[in-house]
Structure formats: structure tokens, C-alpha cells
């Protein structure tokens, strides 16, 4: 907010005949909703930061966007920055209306403890076909101690199809939703995906009500369709092969399955507090069968809580970015007191730190901030749906070596902070 106010003041001071103003995004609203409304009202913002690619077609349809390739170096900058994937972000008219800021595949997470309790193979669960998925869903709900097999939001947010309909459609067809201006889903493949979700809801394997929180993390649902935090390029796996790598945070608490289950830790793990792990999918296996990208192995711990400001748990934040010193990750750390079963949590404090992972071995931390780089100081960071939260989610490297870090403010707003390189 401070940065935004400074920008407005600086602009207005230099352009007395072209005055601008700025408004906060209301609590409970997404930036995409507000941007869409501003386009309709005719008071469109000049710049849109950190928006979902899924929202861009609607902004364009409303006539609210300028093609970035209308600038002399717009297309070349995007293609140089993004590489071959840049074309995925072109609109149907062949123009660039957005600057890609991250690309993550979507995959199915599943809770191994729930699957094991239900007698389902945890190494290779039967999820490859709709019929297999439905049968697995029935089994895990009946025997796995969970309320739902999967619990996507049954609501109309613009992004929700990217976590229910679209990933299954693209897995089945390999097609985007629209090609050459024509819908690709108005066919038996699209109907099959819709029928699959209808069966999940009809058989009460996916609840119809909205869950206030994260049903998978809260262990109410056995599976989730998510976009994981992948390294932007293959790295070396522990077995020496090039692999796609994903940062994640497993949990060992089985008390939700049985009050006496406790926290059985994997071999070699002695601290039950949640931390950052990395898992790998070998490139050669993914090249043979893209579905291998949904089966990660060679799980390794990367970092656990060390400092008082991250005493409860730590987790990944921004996608890793390669620097001359290694892979830079801005992560989050949590301190305070977790109230069992409470939502939202009011006694915790989220802060952000940084770590560098070895360029050749991403399981190794070569440097880590002892104190937080960012912590809840402003009113917007202290007051909101979940108070006292700064949660880093995206990073944009600048040509001068600095970076802009985008982060959640008390789960109510989006902020941006400048990360300066000092050496």
C-alpha cells in the first residue's frame, strides 16, 4: 500500500494535467473481480500486476487490455523471458495481452495415510481412468476416515475450472479449451469430464457445499487437484538423472485418523514440525508418458524450522529462481499457537525469509536468512481474514538484479515488496 501511494503521488506530482487515483481491493474480493468491474465502469487501471492467466481472456473481451506486442520490443521481450511456452499465452487473435509470470503443471495430490487405511496402493494408486478414480474415491470415503474423496470449490470463481474440469480435459485430449477461435470441449470428451464430476457429486464423494479453508490440508478430503511449486527447469535428482522437482510440505500427524496414532515420522526424520521437502519426476519418464509428472519419488527433506519466527512450521512460497549463487526461494515461517479445529487461526504469525539452494543439489541449503525479510507490520498485514500474515507467492526478477515479491496480506489483499540485491 505504501508503494502504491508513493507511485500515485509521484505520478501526480509530475503530471498535474493527468491526475490518477488508487483504491484498495475490498476484503473478500479478488483482484480479478475488481479489475473486471473497473473495466466495466470505464475507470480501468493502467497496469495490472499478478493476475491469473485465466482472467485475461475476459479482460480482453471487455475491451480493457492493450496488446503488449503493440510496443516495438513487446513480443521479443516476452519470448526472450518465457521461451517456447510464450505462445501458450497468446490470445485467439495471436496477440500478447499478458506477461507470463509462472507456469506450473496441475496434478492430483493424495493423502497416503488415508489411502493406506483404506487398503489402496499408495505407490501406484488406481487413478488413471475415470472408472478407477470413482472406485478409489468410493473406497477412501468408506474406509479412509475422510469426509470427501476430493473437495473442489463448488462455486463460480473464474479460476475454479482450472482445478476441476480443465486438468482432466487436457489430460484426456491434450487440447486447450479453445483453438482457432473454436471451442474444443463441446464433444464427447468434454461431456465425459462433466459426467465424471457429476458422478462424484451425485454419489457424495465430492461435497456440494463450500469448505472454508483447505479441505486437503485439514485432512477432510483425501485428494486435491493443485498446481505445485516446481522448479522452472529440470534439476539433478538424487539418482543423478535430470528431473522435474517440486517443493512441498508433508505432514505426519495421524491423529485425525485415530486419536492414538500420533505422528509416526519417516526414517531419519526426528523433528515432527512441518518443513520444506523436495520430490522428483525424471525427465525421461515424463517424456515417455506425461502422466509420470503426477508420480513424484525420491523424496528428500530440504529445510525445517530453526528460528523463533518460524517455530511452528515453514513452507515454500515463491517459485524458485536461478541466481549466480544458487536457487533463490522466498519461503514462509509460522510462529505462535495453532488452535485445533479453529478457522481462521487468530493466534499465529506468518513472516517471510529467504534461502539459497545449491545450484547442483536442490536438497542442500547453502544460505538462509536468520531473521525475516518481511513480517506483518502494516495495518493491511495485521488485520484481515487471517490476521498477522505475510505470505510470499510470486517473484519477478528485474533487470537491475532486484526483484519484486508479491505476497498475501492477512489473506485479504495482495501486496508487493522490493527485494534489493546488496552484493
Domain ranges, ordered by start, for the chain? 2-65, 107-202, 228-419
Cis peptide before 344 (omega within 30 of 0): yes
Note the pLDDT of residue 153.
80
Note the pLDDT of residue 157.
64
Q: How far apart are CA 160 and CA 136, in angstroms?
A: 23
Q: How far apart are CA 234 and CA 236, in angstroms?
A: 7
Q: Grid coordinates representing 322?
A: 536461478
Note the pLDDT of residue 156.
67
Q: What is the three-class DSSP state of 63?
A: coil
Q: Which CATH superfamily is domain 228-419 in?
A: Glycosyl hydrolase domain; family 43 (2.115.10.20)
Note the pLDDT of residue 256.
60
For the four alpha carbons of 390, 392, 397 and 402, in that order, the dihedral sign comes to positive
Note the pLDDT of residue 379.
92
Q: What is the three-class DSSP state of 205?
A: coil
Q: How far apart are CA 85 and CA 375, in angstroms?
A: 34
Q: Integer distance in angstroms from the first to the last C-alpha of the chain?
A: 28
> What string of DSSP letters covers 328-375?
EEEEEEEEE---TT-SS-SSEEEEEEEEEE-SS-TT-EEEE-SS-SB-
What value, to the nearest 5°, has the Cα angle with vertex 161 and ends 320 and 274?
40
DSSP run (H or E) holding 403? strand 403-409
Residues of the chain with pLDDT under 50: none
Residue 14 has phi, psi (to 5 degrees) of -95, -15
Amino acid at each position: 500500500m505504501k508503494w502504491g501511494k508513493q507511485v500515485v503521488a509521484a505520478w501526480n506530482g509530475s503530471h498535474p494535467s493527468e491526475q490518477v487515483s488508487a483504491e484498495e481491493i475490498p476484503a473478500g474480493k479478488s483482484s480479478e473481480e475488481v479489475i473486471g468491474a473497473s473495466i466495466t465502469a470505464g475507470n480501468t487501471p493502467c497496469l495490472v500486476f499478478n493476475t491469473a492467466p485465466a482472467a485475461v481472456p475476459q479482460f480482453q473481451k471487455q475491451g480493457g487490455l492493450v496488446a503488449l506486442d503493440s510496443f516495438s520490443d513487446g513480443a521479443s521481450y516476452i519470448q526472450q523471458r518465457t521461451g517456447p511456452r510464450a505462445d501458450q499465452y497468446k490470445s485467439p487473435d495471436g496477440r500478447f495481452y499478458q506477461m507470463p509470470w509462472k507456469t506450473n503443471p496441475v496434478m492430483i495430490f493424495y493423502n497416503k495415510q488415508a489411502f493406506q487405511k483404506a487398503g489402496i496402493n499408495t505407490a501406484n494408486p488406481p487413478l488413471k481412468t475415470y472408472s478407477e478414480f470413482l472406485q478409489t474415491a468410493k473406497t477412501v470415503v468408506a474406509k479412509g476416515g475422510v469426509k470427501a474423496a476430493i473437495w473442489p470449490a463448488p462455486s463460480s470463481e473464474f479460476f475454479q475450472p482450472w482445478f476441476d474440469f480443465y486438468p482432466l480435459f487436457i489430460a484426456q485430449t491434450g487440447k486447450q479449451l479453445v483453438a482457432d477461435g473454436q471451442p474444443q470441449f463441446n464433444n464427447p470428451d468434454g461431456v465425459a469430464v462433466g459426467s465424471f464430476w457429476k458422478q462424484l457429486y451425485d454419489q457424495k464423494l465430492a461435497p456440494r457445499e463450500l469448505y472454508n479453508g483447505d479441505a486437503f490440508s485439514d485432512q477432510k478430503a483425501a485428494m486435491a487437484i493443485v498446481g505445485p511449486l516446481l522448479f522452472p527447469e529440470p534439476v539433478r535428482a538424487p539418482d543423478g538423472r535430470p528431473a522435474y522437482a517440486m517443493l512441498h510440505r508433508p505432514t505426519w500427524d495421524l491423529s485425525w485418523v485415530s486419536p492414538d496414532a500420533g505422528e509416526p515420522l519417516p526414517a531419519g526424520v526426528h523433528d515432527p514440525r512441518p518443513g520444506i521437502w523436495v520430490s522428483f519426476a525424471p525427465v525421461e519418464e515424463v517424456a515417455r508418458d506425461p502422466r509420470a509428472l503426477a508420480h513424484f519419488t525420491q523424496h528428500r527433506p530440504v529445510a525445517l524450522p530453526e528460528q523463533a519466527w518460524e517455530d511452528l512450521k515453514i513452507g515454500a512460497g515463491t517459485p524458485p529462481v536461478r541466481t549466480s549463487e544458487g536457487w533463490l526461494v522466498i519461503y514462509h515461517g509460522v510462529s505462535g499457537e495453532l488452535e485445533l479445529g479453529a478457522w481462521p487461526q487468530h493466534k499465529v504469525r506468518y513472516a517471510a525469509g529467504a534461502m539459497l539452494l545449491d545450484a547442483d543439489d536442490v536438497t542442500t541449503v547453502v544460505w538462509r536468512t536468520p531473521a525475516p525479510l518481511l513480517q506483518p507490520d502494516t495495518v493491511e498485514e495485521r488485520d484481515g481474514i487471517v490476521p498477522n500474515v505475510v505470505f510470499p507467492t510470486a517473484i519477478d526478477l528485474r533487470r537491475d538484479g532486484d526483484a519484486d515479491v508479491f505476497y498475501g496480506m492477512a489473506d485479504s489483499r495482495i501486496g508487493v515488496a522490493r527485494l534489493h540485491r546488496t552484493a
